[in-house]
Structure 1
Amino acid sequence: MKTAKPDLDLQVDRTLELPMYLQICQRFKTAIEQGNLRAGDRVPAVRALATELNLARGTVEMAYRILADEGYLQVRGAAGTVVSPSLPPPAVLKPQAAVAGQAHAVIVEHDGKAPKPLQMGLPALDAFPRKVWNRLVGHRLRGSEPARLAYPDPAGYDRLRERIATYLGVSRGVTCLPEQVFVTTGLRDTLELTFSSLSTAGDALWFEDPGYIFARLFLQNAALKVVPVPVDEHGLMVEAGKRLSPYAKFAIVTPSHQSPLGVTLSLERRMALLEWASKAGSWIIEDDYDSEFRYQGRPLPALKSLDRNDRVIYSGTFSKAMFPGLRLAYVVAPASAVARFQAASYNLKAGCPYLFQAGVADFIAEGHFSRHLKKMRLLYAERRAVTSRVFQEILGDRIRIDLQPGGLHILAQLADREDDVALAGHAQAAGLGVHPLSRWYIDAKPRQGLLLGFANVIDEKEARRLALKLKQAMA
């Protein structure tokens, strides 16, 4: 057995804020990346390294345990601990490069920089009533009593929970009590709260295929078995899900506006999904992320409004209805699970900032929220029509746009011979925030297409400029 090189530098810096066990982890990862440690190399014993670094044995044990969990080390009992022999060469030599490449390809929108044109998931940032918002938040800031400077309630600001419950009852047909509403920072936080409340390791979960890619990345790192269930023009194929995993513990769906295809889950499928959940004792997570914006026909009721057996967990967000910088969302827990959500909330969450929660509560209470949504529906209908018409005109036979009834993005379908990943890469290099549709698939045969956010395309001139830029990138 090979042994670690004697000149391996694992020293820690006690002046840094980074905990020493994490410094040790980083030293080992760097040594593996640079080739100073190779697959099969034996690393120093815990006691020996603790003595050498003048650290507590528990600190080194924690670092080794993390490295083993992440697959860098393999513990062999009395035979010692070695660099995992199963690490493939690319992961051994360039683990950070591989991760960075994946982040560039997928999580390109959440880097804190200025949004790119055609970026998905963004409302019209130019049309938000900032003066009204600033006034409401400023008033709360000036009038905050000392108690509001303390830690916020992890479950959410009580007045905001009340406003959300009232809004959902009127606009989405969801009957709930404020106690069922839990304020979160987004879908990821909602899922973490839900699974901490209701799941056990190894539970199966139906996931739309194609489905929301950012949720998928989170779920793949959770202790759940993701079961891809195909989607057609009527939404999630419930019968296929029952064949693949009849007793899955969860199903996560986007029934009002399927992400990314934009189709609506049919009433027949909705009833079938609810019946399955009731019989199997399963939970349905309804991600109702942008249902406020529908441009054809009457607004659809939420799946939760049809739930008679308390099996639907309703998830909503203010990121699309207001702006994503708020980092405010919410989840409606089933009445039978409120106590579990409450316990998990207090165990996991520090709570969302009071100031923004109070500002949103006032924004709703004073009628600004409903007026803003009405204004945005009209604005988005115009921008959607202009964007689709201009892009279809300029890109011609290269794309086909079939508008769906709602949402904040359009799907430009491509011929099967096209490579949407390569085309999206060229477009992104040109500064456009488009997504390749095929990346959103798991097991189903991927369709080729480009996902384009239209909410911030302010007029026909801007649409034409962006369409020409995309055409050039696709040449």
Structure 2
Amino acid sequence: MNTSVPSFRNAETPSALQLRIDRTLDQPMYLQICQRFKTAIELGHLRAGDRVPAARALAAELSLARSTVDLAYRILADEGYFQGRGAAGTVVSPRLPQAVVARPQGSLPPVAPATIVDHDGKAPKPLQLGLPALDAFPRKVWNRLVTHRLRGSEPMRLGYPDPQGFEELRERIATYLGVSRGVSCVPEQVFVTTGLRTTLELSLRSLSSPGDAFWFEDPGYILARPFLHNAAVTVVPVPVDEHGLRVDEGRRLSPYARFAMVTPSNQSPLGVTLSLERRMALLDWASEAGSWIIEDDYDSEFRYQGRPLPALKSLDRNDRVIYAGTFSKVMFPGLRLAYAVAPLSAVRRFQAVSSNLNAGSPYLLQSSVADFMAQGHFPRHLKKMRQLYAERRAVAQRAFQRVLGERVRIDLRPGGLHLLARLADGDSDMALAERARDAGLAVHPLSRWYMAAPPRQGLLMGFANIADEREALRLAGRLQAALG
């Protein structure tokens, strides 16, 4: 019979400690306790200075005599693993030798190159893609709104949220899209999700069949590819040029594909805009083939030349477009809030899948975003960010072009939150990006975003968190040194 401690956690212990004692083993229980703690320390689950459970509490949880646990703790202290601090309890020794805390080599497989991500819950790296200006978000306003909702929440809000999303937030999203993006929709069409991948899962589960063909921009959004390759669809790479997705090539490669996914306002990663002629051709194809278009409108709010373009869905007269938006770029990614606007004809299917797919997003965050929009903070923040990003974009482009010289060419695109530095002939973007990442810079090689089309060489760099020219020049110098 095994006895386990489900979790011991306090303010000084970074992670829950699982401790299992097997009474069927010949090994004495005090030695089992010793081994479990040593393993936790060696794997990094317990670190130097972390408190461990009090002997009395551990003995009670394991249904053991206090003397058994005391003996284990004395052995661990004698061997240098534990240190007693009197009334403050027992902690993992701050003087642990490095050999003890080293993680086993080769215990985890290396990350596949195509799935490298920078968001690991730690401080963002310089030049990281997909990040808005975290320093410029109105945190005081946001904290006040969250606190207000937290204090005033009714008991019913402690239950499970609506899988489709908080009704007031869906109403605000529908109103915002109608005014700013030209998308005419009702709240019943809006589904709150946690991000693009959840939106894709909702869409595919609602409308796809195994083996369906799926047009995907080439190059296209790299973080969507692993999900699609694991889904029951056949990915068809369709080339992109200066006018966006080549619809004629899509028709040639797979005329009756079930889906097409596009980033028409700011193509990811090239930054081009899908021309009106191509937009109409794509909509005509979808209507003729009975196909669905997923419009990923991830950062269309940030356009620095003219007004933001209307969404592809605003041109949709045959109900074939699934619109995907997000709060990650316009507010901050830690929200984990995005949304999909389903075609009217597919709302019932989306609702059925949504109720089985998840238990909904947290009420507190959804309601706070609804208040942020209702009280006028959202449009004010967007206006401020457009101006700020236009300035930071220009500063970053000048600094990097000046420092890196003829080795790169940085042409500013009309919108977006990243720069694309084209490389001189002979340079390998994969090798250069690897050197830059070794130097702590979150640079992405453009060629990795391609699938079947001949890859072009370039470096992708986020600029939204470059505060001023001084920082831009410093980062450009670091990149130059890393490139060699």
TM-score normalised according to structure 2 size: 0.78
2:258 equivalent among 249, 261, 270 = 249
Alignment of 1:54-203 (within 5 A): 99-102=109-112, 106-203=115-212
C-alpha distance after superposition, 1:224-260 (max 9, x if no partner):
1000000000000000000000000000000000000
User: Residue 96 and residue 441 in structure 1: after superposition, are their counterparts in 2 closer, same or farther (change >3 A)?
Assistant: farther
Q: Distance in 1 between matches of 2:376 and 2:247?
A: 39
Matched, 1:340 2:345: no
Q: Determine the structure 1 residue equivalent to 2:329.
A: 320
2:365 to 324, 345, 356: 356
1:164 partner letter: I
Relative to structure 1, the CA distance from residue 284 to residue 395 in structure 2 (aligned partners, 3 Å threshold; closer, same or farther) is same
Supply the distance in 2 between the matched residues of 1:269 and 1:367 (Cα, whole angstroms). 35
Q: Partner amino acid for 2:276?
A: L
**C-alpha displacement of 1:217:** 1.4
Letter in 1 for 2:360: G
The question of whether the paired residues in 2 share the 8 Å contact of 1:188 and 1:215 is answered with: yes
CA contact (8 A) 2:115 2:226 kept: no
Deviation at 1:102, TM superposition (A): 1.1
What residue is the counterpart of 2:28 in the other structure? none
TM-score by length of 1: 0.80
| Structure 2 residue 479 is matched with structure 1 residue 467 | no
Q: Does 1:239 align with 2:248?
A: yes
CA distance in structure 1 between the partners assigned to 2:117 and 2:254 by the alignment: 33
Structure 2 counterpart of 1:439, one-letter code? R
**2:436 is matched with which residue?**
427
- Computing the radius of gyration over CA atoms, which structure comes out larger, 1 or 2? 2
Instruction: Tell me what 1:301 maps to.
Output: 310
Q: Distance in 2 between matches of 1:129 and 1:404?
A: 27
Structure 2, unmatched stretches of 5+, are 7-17, 19-104
- 1:43 is aligned to none
Contact in 1 for aligned 2:397/2:419 (Cα 8 Å): yes
Secondary structure in 1 matching 2:111: helix
Q: Distance in 2 between matches of 1:464 and 1:217?
A: 35
Alpha-carbon contact 1:203-1:224 (below 8 Å) kept? yes
In the TM superposition, residue 162 of structure 1 has moved relative to its aligned partner by: 0.1
Residue 288 of structure 1 corresponds to which residue in structure 2? 297
Mapped to 1, the partners of 2:233 and 2:157 lie a distance apart of: 38
**Contact 1:304/1:312, CA 8 A, preserved across alignment:** yes
User: CA offset at residue 15 of structure 1?
Assistant: 4.7
- Whether the aligned pair in 1 keeps the contact of 2:406 and 2:424 (CA below 8 Å) is no
Q: Does 1:369 align with 2:390?
A: no
| C-alpha RMSD of matched pairs (Å) | 1.6
Which letter does structure 1 place at the counterpart of 2:382? Answer: L
Moved over 2 A (4+): 12-18, 94-97, 105-108
Q: Residues 95, 255 of structure 1: CA spacing in aligned structure 2 closer, same or farther, 3 A cutoff? A: farther
1:308, 1:207 → 2: CA distance? 23
Show CA shifts across 1:289-343 (max 9, x none): 0000000122100000000000000000000000000000000000000000000
Tell me how far 1:109 sits from its aligned partner.
Answer: 1.1
Rounded Cα–Cα distance in structure 2 between residues aligned with 1:221 and 1:425: 27
Query: How far off is 1:107 after superposition?
Result: 2.5
Q: How does 1:432-447 map to 2 (within 5 A)?
A: 432-447=441-456
Deviations 1:168-227 (A, max 9, x none): 000000000000000000000000011010001110000000000000111111111000
* Alpha-carbon distance between aligned partners in 2 of 1:396 and 1:222, rounded to the nearest angstrom: 43
CA distance in structure 2 between the partners assigned to 1:232 and 1:96 by the alignment: 43
- In structure 2, what is the Cα distance between the partners aligned to 1:298 and 1:16? 59
Q: CA deviation at 1:112?
A: 1.1
Distance 1:343 1:16, change over 3 A: farther
Partners of 1:125 and 1:456 within 8 A in 2: yes
Aligned length: 387
